[in-house]
Structure 1
Amino acid sequence: MRVVFAGTPDVALASLDALLASSHEVVAVLTRPDAARGRGRRQAASPVAVRAREAGLELLQPERPRGPEFLDRLRALAPDVCPVVAYGALVPAEALAVPRLGWVNLHFSLLPAWRGAAPVQRAVMAGDDVTGACVFQLETGLDTGPVYGQLTEPVGARDTAGDLLGRLAVSGARLLVDVLDGLERGVLSAVPQPADGVSHAPKIPVEEARVDWSAPTARVDRLVRGCTPDPGAWTTFRGDRLKLGPVLPVADAGDPPAPGALRVERRRVLAGTGDGAVELGTVQAAGGKVLAAGDWARGARPEDGEQLQ
């Protein structure tokens, strides 16, 4: 089938690569315009744009996918179907109507759970034991369309959102190609999502990624893992922001430090929580490098009981 692929970040690359290796013809790629990226905030193309150029594909980068120029080009390309993976903009009804089989979206949750921009992060933060991926028919509603296929993925006790998303990107790419194969053969029909079990996964704002040290250990652990690598969990130390890598709940802290209080031991740095303590993993001071917590403590020299806030 003729395919116009829509995607923007790294997580979409596995699907684009899988489509390029399939029997389907990728006639163009739709991605977000170049934007300021990275620490230097320099204008740069999206990862999908870079891969598309490397593959010699036509690249479509409209500010909004509803302009007449984009819609005219999409109609001229005459795609049979448009697969979507984390494109990053709403597709209007005028564009949805162009391909004969519509647009199919790879979403990283078991719909109707975690509809929205951050399904994997929210699943980790909520303590879900299992998540997965779905391919569904894109509609104007937010992740509401009927589902063509799904897969499940266990959430490991130490998984970060990045770990989980990396696995789902690969398995989801295979699922996406399988769905397109089934649509081409005419053997698939979409199943409406159940009315029960709906939950929402809005993008995580930076303020929500701040650690509440009065929370239970399990919640602190899940927050940090769910915000790794993006947007990054953080706290403050001596009034400055301190970014945190994954922490490790500890059961042998003796009399644990007070919530947010630090204890520097010979081989580890502990921080108190609402019901125990966690061992800090990596930390990054504002403008500094990522350091193991012990190396950071040797430089910062926190006093016993000094607070993270």
Structure 2
Amino acid sequence: MFAGTPEVAVPALDAIAESRHELVGVVTRPDAPAGRGRKLVASPVAQRAEELGVPLLKPEHPRDPEFQESLKQLRPDCCPVVAYGALLPQSALDIPPHGWVNLHFSCLPAWRGAAPVQHSIWAGDEVTGATTFRIVKAMDAGPTFGVMTERIRDTDTAGDLLTRLAEGGAGLLVTTLDGIEDGVLVPREQPEEGVSMAPKILVEDARIDWTEPAQAVDRRVRACTPFPGAWSTFEGERIKIGPVTPAASNLEPGEIAVGKNHVLVGTGTSAVRLGEVKAFGKKLMSAADWARGARLEDGARLGE
């Protein structure tokens, strides 16, 4: 039985559905309000499960007795998991004989937690990856089965990198299930050294500090793209800012310089060139278009 919720989990669900293993069911988070109308919408995994025609469970919480009884009736040998989004109680972990096997988007024990891809970019890691491991009570601390690595490109946003890891990780998860079934994979305990944590990134964390070096600004913006979205303020209103690029110009932190087709902003070191900007109540647009619409002049500032 597969457990997952967001779009990033769909490649793994598809890979398992196409594998030699029998997919007896899918568990996902309940429908959630979305869009301007705040109508209840099924998760991407739920929508894909319905297309595949497999039994679908949406418990409020996996500790619910009704859910656990349904799980027992489905009698899964193993429960692969990708970004399910709820903590699994021991009573649920104990049901499948081979446990719950999670695909986590880092090379464990590095970046345990909810936002491993974002933190790896923010920290300036050159390489990250994905790991399969058996879920235990402690956060992402279970014994590991397999790992894949992926180079972090200089222009990668968290969305870019997560897309590649989701595709590559889907194959790793199926290979792990193959090895468990064949009895050739023995999980290894994670080393105690090298543990780092990757807590959820909050909106306030995504606020750009223009006094930081240009490299740090670049990493923060890419790590927070597309979610929760890097931002700053202009004339008291919040604006979202897409990935930036280095520029050979010296400006004061937050100081704006406007060209015909570009907008530069000063940092703690050299300036950066803005890419796309979304002002309050406006659509996403190029920084140059935003500057023309806002009638920006040199010397204006972000972050005040």
Shorter-chain TM-score tier = over 0.9
Whether 1:206 aligns to 2:241 is: no
Following the alignment from structure 1 to structure 2, what is the Cα–Cα distance between the partners of residues 205 and 297? 28
Shift of 1:57: 1.3
Shift of 1:39: 4.6
Following the alignment from structure 2 to structure 1, what is the Cα–Cα distance between the partners of residues 44 and 219? 28
SS of the counterpart of 1:197?
coil
Matches within 5 A, 1:82-161: 82-161=79-158
Following the alignment from structure 1 to structure 2, what is the Cα–Cα distance between the partners of residues 175 and 154? 16
2:283 to 267, 270, 289: 289
Shift of 1:302: 1.3
Following the alignment from structure 2 to structure 1, what is the Cα–Cα distance between the partners of residues 14 and 121? 27
Matches within 5 A, 1:230-269: 230-250=227-247, 252-253=248-249, 256-269=250-263
Following the alignment from structure 1 to structure 2, what is the Cα–Cα distance between the partners of residues 157 and 51? 33
**Aligned-partner residue type, residue 265 of structure 1:** G
Shift of 1:106: 0.0
Shift of 1:41: 3.0
Following the alignment from structure 1 to structure 2, what is the Cα–Cα distance between the partners of residues 301 and 26? 57
**Aligned-partner residue type, residue 66 of structure 1:** R
Whether 1:302 aligns to 2:296 is: yes
Whether 1:272 aligns to 2:296 is: no
Shift of 1:36: 1.4
Aligned length: 303
Query: How much is the aligned-residue C-alpha RMSD, in angstroms?
Result: 0.8
8 Å contact kept, 1:257–1:305 = no
Following the alignment from structure 1 to structure 2, what is the Cα–Cα distance between the partners of residues 39 and 102? 39
Give the TM-score taking structure 1 as reference length.
Answer: 0.97
Following the alignment from structure 2 to structure 1, what is the Cα–Cα distance between the partners of residues 282 and 194? 43
1:216 alignment partner in structure 2:
213
Following the alignment from structure 2 to structure 1, what is the Cα–Cα distance between the partners of residues 36 and 238? 16
1:195 alignment partner in structure 2:
192
2:168 to 166, 171, 184: 171
SS of the counterpart of 2:192?
coil
Shift of 1:38: 3.5
**Aligned-partner residue type, residue 30 of structure 2:** P
Following the alignment from structure 2 to structure 1, what is the Cα–Cα distance between the partners of residues 64 and 145? 29
1:185 alignment partner in structure 2:
182
SS of the counterpart of 2:171?
helix
2:14 alignment partner in structure 1:
17
Structure 1 stretches of 4+ with a deviation exceeding 4 A read none
Q: Deviations over 1:47-92 (max 9, x none)?
A: 0011111111111111110111001000000000000000000011
**Aligned-partner residue type, residue 169 of structure 1:** A
Q: Deviations over 1:124-176 (max 9, x none)?
A: 01100000000000011100001000010000011111010000000000000
Give the TM-score taking structure 2 as reference length.
Answer: 0.98
Following the alignment from structure 1 to structure 2, what is the Cα–Cα distance between the partners of residues 213 and 177? 44
Unaligned runs of 5+ in 1: none
Following the alignment from structure 1 to structure 2, what is the Cα–Cα distance between the partners of residues 41 and 237? 29
SS of the counterpart of 1:25?
coil
Following the alignment from structure 2 to structure 1, what is the Cα–Cα distance between the partners of residues 68 and 6? 23
Q: Deviations over 1:102-139 (max 9, x none)?
A: 00000000001000000000000110000000000001
Unaligned runs of 5+ in 2: none
SS of the counterpart of 2:122?
helix
Shift of 1:42: 2.5
